[in-house]
Amino acid sequence: MKEYLFVYGTLRRRHAEIHERFLRTERFVAEGTISGTLYDLGRYPGVHRMRGGRARTDGELFELRDVAATLAALDEYEGSGFRRVRVSVRLDGGRRQRAWAYLLVEAPPAHAREITSGVYR
């Protein structure tokens, strides 16, 4: 069974140094969105999901080739402030794909700024 990963921040292809370190061998599938509010936490973003929330966060979907090694490395990289959960990624045309994503464990800290566009630059 294929496993997928959704990334929305520093792991995206536009952040080449970090992307190459963790996802260079993984296959890019498509752009997509997940439900959740995107926050700027300083050096990186985080997504917080609330029941009934309508915000969407943009990102990229990857097919994982070396699932165990990639997820173990990312678990360490993301740290204790994030948890890996299954999400539903909405792709162009309305198609959906289940994937792993790293979301904030708790509500964002007071200094966090909401990114209303849903896109982390």
**Model pLDDT, residue 51:** 82
Query: DSSP secondary structure string, 14-67?
Result: TSHHHHHHHHTTSEEEEEEEEESEEEE-SSSEEEE--TT---EEEEEEEEESSH
**Would the pLDDT of 68 be above 90?**
yes
Do the strands 56-64 and 27-35 form a parallel or antiparallel pair, or are they unpaired?
antiparallel
> Which residue(s) pair with 35 in the sheet?
56
Instruction: Quote the DSSP letter at residue 108.
Output: P
pLDDT over 90 (residue 93): no
* pLDDT, position 32: 97
Tell me the per-residue pLDDT of 11-62, one tens digit each, with 9 for 90 and over: 999 999 999 999 999 999 999 999 999 999 999 999 999 888 899 999 999 9
